[in-house]
Amino acid sequence: MATNETSTVAVTKSKPTKKPLKPARKQVQPGEVERKETPQTGKEYNIWYNKWAGGDREDNYSNKVKSQTRCNIKKDSGLTRANTTGNRYCCLFFARGCCPYGWECNYLHTLPDPDNALPDSSKDCFAREKFADYRDDMGGVGSFNRQNRTLYIGRIKETGPGPETEEIVIRHFKEWGEIEKSEYSPLRVLQYRSVAFVTYKSEFNAQFAKEAMACQSLDNDEILNVRWATEDPNPVSKEQEKRWLEEQGQEAIKARMDPRIVQAMRAVRALEEGDTLDDEGEVMEADGEVSGDGPNAKRRKLDFAPPDMQRSECPKPQGLLSADTLEGLKYFAEIKRQHASIAPSKSPPNRTAAGLGLAEYGSEDED
pLDDT at 78: 94
Lowest mean pLDDT among 155-164, 260-269, 340-349: 340-349
Q: Is residue 299 part of a domain?
A: no
* Amino acid in position 358: L
Residues 153 and 198: beta-carbon distance below 8 Å = yes
The residues, ordered by sequence, that sit 6+ positions from 290 with a Cβ below 8 Å of its Cβ are 278, 282, 283, 284
Digit-coded pLDDT (tens) for 298-324: 444 444 444 454 444 545 545 555 667
Pair (100, 41) in one structural domain: yes
Pair (217, 261) in one structural domain: no
Among 249, 270, 291, identify where a domain stops: 270
Among 230, 255, 287, identify where a domain stops: 230
Whether 168 has a pLDDT exceeding 90, the answer reads yes
The residues, ordered by sequence, that sit 6+ positions from 298 with a Cβ below 8 Å of its Cβ are 285, 286, 291
Q: Is residue 201 part of a domain?
A: yes
Q: Is residue 157 part of a domain?
A: yes
Pair (28, 99) in one structural domain: yes
Whether 110 has a pLDDT exceeding 60, the answer reads yes
Pair (226, 176) in one structural domain: yes
Q: What is the mean pLDDT of residues 144-165?
A: 89
Task: Give how many domains the chain has, as a whole number.
Answer: 3
Tell me what percent of the residues of the chain surpass a pLDDT of 90: 33
What CATH number is given to the structural domain containing 181? 3.30.70.330
Pair (247, 166) in one structural domain: no
Pair (156, 220) in one structural domain: yes
Whether 355 has a pLDDT exceeding 50, the answer reads no
Torsion, Cα 45 51 56 58, to 10 degrees, reads 170
Digit-coded pLDDT (tens) for 137-146: 899 899 998 8
Digit-coded pLDDT (tens) for 49-84: 667 776 555 445 556 788 999 999 999 999 999 999
Q: Is residue 287 part of a domain?
A: no
Q: What is the mean pLDDT of residues 170-190?
A: 81
Between 263 and 356, name the one with better pLDDT. Answer: 263
Q: Is residue 186 part of a domain?
A: yes
| Helix ranges, the chain (H) | 2-13, 57-62, 73-76, 82-85, 92-96, 162-173, 203-212, 235-256, 259-273, 323-342
Digit-coded pLDDT (tens) for 215-247: 999 998 899 999 999 987 778 777 877 887 777
Residue among 264, 314, 266 nearest 290 (CA): 266
On whether the pTM is more than 0.75, the answer is: no
Pair (80, 156) in one structural domain: no
If 0-12 CB within 10 Å is exposed, 13-18 middle and 19+ buried, where does residue 93 land? Answer: buried
Whether 356 has a pLDDT exceeding 70, the answer reads no
Q: Whole domain around residue 185: which residue ranges?
A: 150-230
Q: Is residue 212 part of a domain?
A: yes
**Rg of the Cα atoms in the chain:** 33
Pair (211, 188) in one structural domain: yes
| Per-chain mean pLDDT for the chain | 75
pLDDT at 17: 52
pLDDT at 312: 46
Q: Is residue 183 part of a domain?
A: yes
Number of residues written out for the chain = 367
pLDDT at 62: 59
pLDDT at 92: 96
Tell me what percent of the residues of the chain surpass a pLDDT of 70: 67
Q: Is residue 254 part of a domain?
A: yes
Pair (193, 221) in one structural domain: yes
pLDDT at 284: 56
Pair (251, 208) in one structural domain: no
Residues 211 and 179: beta-carbon distance below 8 Å = no
pLDDT at 47: 74
Helix, strand, or coil (residue 237): helix
Whether 87 has a pLDDT exceeding 90, the answer reads yes
Lowest mean pLDDT among 96-110, 220-234, 305-319, 329-343: 305-319
Digit-coded pLDDT (tens) for 3-47: 444 444 444 444 445 566 799 999 998 777 777 666 667 778 777
